[in-house]
């Protein structure tokens, strides 16, 4: 079994592991899995949290291990570190599309620093209007902010830029 495991296969399998709080986005597309290494002895998966206080991190680590195990990968080590840090810029295009379909405004790309201006110009994920307002930078999870759309008159959540 071991010799049939390849790096592209591992990445495909890891794409099956979803964010427990946003079950439409894989940890690969979210950018939480930062590196995968395959040696003759074992598989090493590097991960980094979106927020240091993210309570879902332990679940994600266990999900990664369980998923690879179900594919026949026995020896998996998961390393959680801040060496390669998560930034909302790391979310893939596929991940952004999935977030929007889920009803979460994807985070805008930013250059060096997150400014209040980019938070206040968040297009509505439901009607795409730019006539929106930031209500609070804190939401139901650490990684979400709450906005209001004046066009379709609905609150919406945003995966916030960090």
List interacting residues with another protein (CB under 8 A): 51-55, 82-83, 85, 87, 113-114, 116, 135-140, 142, 146, 160, 162
Contact 45, 75 (CB under 8 A): no
Nearer to another protein, 8 or 53 (CB): 53
- Tell the smallest beta-carbon distance from residue 77 to another protein (Å): 18
Which residues fall within 8 angstroms of residue 18, CB to CB, at 6 or more apart?
24, 25, 26, 27, 63
- Tell the smallest beta-carbon distance from residue 145 to another protein (Å): 8
What whole-number distance in Å separates Cα of residue 160 and Cα of residue 162? 6
Nearer to another protein, 1 or 113 (CB): 113
- Tell the smallest beta-carbon distance from residue 13 to another protein (Å): 28
What whole-number distance in Å separates Cα of residue 59 and Cα of residue 42? 21
Nearer to another protein, 97 or 135 (CB): 135
What whole-number distance in Å separates Cα of residue 51 and Cα of residue 87? 10
């Amino acid at each position: 079994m071991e010799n049939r495991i390849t790096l592209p296969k591992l990445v495909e399998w890891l794409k099956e592991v979803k964010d427990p709080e946003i079950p439409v986005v894989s940890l690969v597309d979210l950018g939480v899995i930062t590196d995968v290494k395959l040696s003759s002895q074992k598989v090493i998966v590097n991960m980094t949290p979106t927020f240091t206080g993210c309570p879902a991190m332990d679940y994600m680590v266990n999900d990664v291990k369980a998923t690879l195990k179900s594919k026949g990968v026995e020896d998996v080590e998961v390393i959680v570190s801040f060496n390669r840090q998560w930034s909302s810029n790391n979310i893939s295009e596929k991940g952004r599309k999935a977030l929007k379909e889920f009803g979460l405004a994807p985070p805008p790309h930013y250059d060096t620093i997150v400014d209040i201006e980019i938070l206040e110009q968040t297009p509505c994920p439901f009607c795409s209007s730019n006539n929106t307002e930031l209500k609070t930078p804190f939401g139901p999870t650490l990684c979400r902010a709450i906005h209001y759309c004046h066009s379709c008159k609905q609150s919406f959540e945003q995966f916030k830029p960090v």
